[in-house]
Amino acid sequence: MIDDFRNQKCLHKRYAYQIVLQTREILRSMPSLVDVTVPNGSKFTVCGDVHGQLFDLLNIFELNGLPSEDNPYLFNGDFVDRGSFSLEVILTLFAFKCMYPSAMYLSRGNHESKSMNKIYGFEGEVKSKLNDSFVELFAEVFCCLPLAHVINDKVFIVHGGLFSVDGVKLSDIRAIDRFCEPPEEGLMCELLWSDPQPQRGRGPSKRGVGLSFGEDVTKRFLQENNLDLVVRSHEVKDDGYEITHDGKLITVFSAPNYCDQMGNKGAYIRFKAPELKPDIVSFSAVPHPDVKPMAYANNFLRMFA
């Protein structure tokens, strides 16, 4: 399948349908907050946004090995939109989820939603490469994606960030009924949309959704939940990552040369148990076929792309 994707061939609808339906069943049975156990001596890789950049995703697998029971991955949301190989990316990740359910973890990002997919290209791409009924099916499966993960009770991983109120416990995240489109406010919205800020306290979000949260908010959340580190994605960074909040928060972003114009590197983080010290690997973009980003996006946006 991956070889076909490299050669810009489409997967037959029948097989795409089987992969997506099987993934839906697996995801549906998972909690909103997933506990991941990494045995001593084993490693675990966390990747950030991929945004439909298939050839950079395949490069991660070249550099760090294919997902397997001995080489598990977590992809931290925003698999689709902007990049024009979003369908191939999501089918690749979903196929690995079906093959090795405990070696491919997937978190929901703010782009795993109907409203974003309508604007930023995934909906148009699915209609072009498969058909309209798949649009609804993907929207349904995206509503089954877990919202956050915790590795070995120590590392909290979420797409966006933390909360507008103090005192949020992991049990509160576990209790979220996630099977819906993301709301405009509340815990689920903030998990998907929030960003860190350099100053203490909280502030309004530059995105108009979620909030900005400071180092004190991060440290308090970690302390109250007996955790060591927050890993999140959601923002492009020059080196593919950024360490802030006194080393307690790492942003990781895995779409290098984002939208073919940002010139940034991508990165992923390797954790090895029991220490779980983050080992961050940066990488550069690789060539891809001449299909522009946002090729399937809403026409209005394409004028500005």
Instruction: State the catalytic residues.
Output: 111
Q: Which helix (H) or strand (E) holds 267?
A: strand 266-272
| Unique residue bearing structure tokens 């502030």 | 203
The 8 Å CB, 24+ separation contacts for 222-225 are 222/156, 222/248, 224/166, 224/167, 224/169, 225/156, 225/169, 225/170
CA–CA separation, 294 and 274 (whole Å): 42
CA–CA separation, 32 and 249 (whole Å): 21
What is the token pair recorded at 2? 């991956």
What is the token pair recorded at 242? 């950024």
- How many other C-beta atoms are found inside a 10 Å radius of the C-beta of residue 61? 15
Which CA distances in Å does 223 have to 172, 176, 255? 16, 21, 31
